[in-house]
Amino acid sequence: MGLYDWLLALHVLSAFAWVSALVLYSVVLAASWGASIPSDVARMFRVTKVGDVLIAVGMIGTIVFGVWLALDEYEIWDGWIIAALVLWLAAAATGGRGGKHYNGVRDRANALVAEGRNEPSPELTAGLQSTRGLMFHSATVVITLALLVVMIYKPGA
Amino acid sequence: MLAAIRPDDWNFPLLLHVLGASLLLGALITAVTAQLLAWKRRGPADVIPYARLSFRTLLIAAIPAWFLMRIGGEWVASKGWNDIDPAPAWLDIGYLTAELGGLLILVSTILAGIGARRLGRSNGEQGATLVRVATVLVVLVTIAYVITTWAMSAKPD
C-alpha cells in the first residue's frame, strides 16, 4: 500500500465518522422530539457525547487528508475540490450553529436535573422542536450529502 | 486506482453503496452507544429507554441502510468487478462482512427487540441478558465494518 492508498482510506474513514455523527444526532433528535421531562432529555443527550468525538474526527480528518490527497494526486484549484472546500466550510458553519442550539437545550436539561426540578418543561420541548435548530441540522445533512455527491462524481475532474 | 478512473455510469450505484455504508455505520454506532449506556446502568428509568432507542435504531436505520449498501454494492460489482478471477481480497472481505454482518444485524435486532420488550414489561427485571448479547454482536459487526471500510477504500493486495 502506498501513501495515496493510506490517505484515501483515512479520508474515507473520516467521512464515515462525519456521517455517523449526523446519523447519531438525527436519531437522538428524533427520539427526543416532544420530550419535556428534563431527565429524559438529559438521558438522550448522553448518547451525543460519542457524536461529538465522531464529528470532530470526521471534520478534521476529511479536510486534512482531503487537502493532502488533493496536493498529492490532483490540483487544489480543480473545480470539484474548490466546491468540496466551500461545502465543508458551509457544513462547519451550519453544524456549529445547530450544535450550539442543541448543546444549549442539553445544558438546560442538565441544569434542571441538577436543581432537582424534573417536572415537564415547555422550554425544553420548545428548544427540541425549534425550527431554527432543525433548520441548521437539516442544512448540515443536506450539505454533507452534496459533499458526498461531489466526492463521488468529481465534476470537471 | 481503478476506482479513481471509473466510468461515469458507476457513479450513481457507488453513491448508493457509500451512502448506505456510511448510514449503516452511523446507525450501528448509535445503537452500540445506547446499548453500552444501558449496560452501564442498573435503574429501569435509564436501561429501558436506552434499550428501546437501540432496538429502534437497528430496526429503522441499520436494516434499511444495510439494504442500500448491499444493493448499491451489487450494482457496482455487476459493472465488471464480479468478472475478475481471482477476485481481489478487498472485494472478498466486502462480500463476507456484508453477508455475515447482515445476518448478525438481523439477529441483534430481534434480540434487542425482545430484550427491550421484556425489560419494559418487567420494569427492568428481565431481558437485560438479551440486550447484552445483542450489544456484543453489534460491537463485533461495527468493528468488522470499520475494517471493511478501510479495506474497500485502501484496496490492499
Pairs of CB atoms within 8 A across A/B: 83
The ipTM assigned to this model is 0.95
What is the rounded end-to-end Cα distance, in angstroms, of chain B? Answer: 12
Q: Does A31 touch chain B (CB under 8 A)?
A: yes
How far are the Cα atoms of A4, A8, A33, A46 from residue B150, in angstroms, in the given order? 13, 9, 35, 28
pLDDT digits (tens, 9 = 90+) for A14-27: 999 999 999 999 99
CB B154 within 8 A of CB A8: yes
- Which ranges in A74-117 belong to alpha helices (H)? 79-114
Which pTM was predicted?
A: 0.94
> Per the structure block, which three cell numbers stand in for A52?
461529538
Closest-CA distance of chain B to residue A132, Å? 24
- Nearest CB to A5; choose among B19, B46, B155: B155
Interface contact A118, partner B, CB < 8 A:
no
| Ramachandran sector of residue B127 (left: φ over 0; alpha: ψ -120 to 50; beta: rest) | left
CA distance, residue A21 to nearest chain B CA (Å): 7
For residue B4, the model assigns a pLDDT of 53
Q: Which residue of B has its CA nearest to A151?
A: B15
**B156–A1 C-beta distance less than 8 A:** yes
Residues B89, B69: Cα–Cα separation, whole Å: 19
Q: Is B45 in the A-facing interface, judged by CB distances under 8 Å?
A: yes
Residue B106, C-beta contacts closer than 8 angstroms, at least 6 positions apart = B63
Which residues of B are less than 8 Å from A8 in CB distance? 153-154
Taking an 8 Å cut-off on Cβ atoms, the answer to whether B153 and A50 are in contact is no
Tens-binned pLDDT, residue by residue, of chain B (157 aa): 444 557 788 899 999 999 999 999 999 999 999 999 999 877 888 899 999 999 999 999 999 999 999 999 999 988 877 777 777 888 889 999 999 999 999 999 999 999 999 999 999 889 899 999 999 999 999 999 999 999 999 888 6
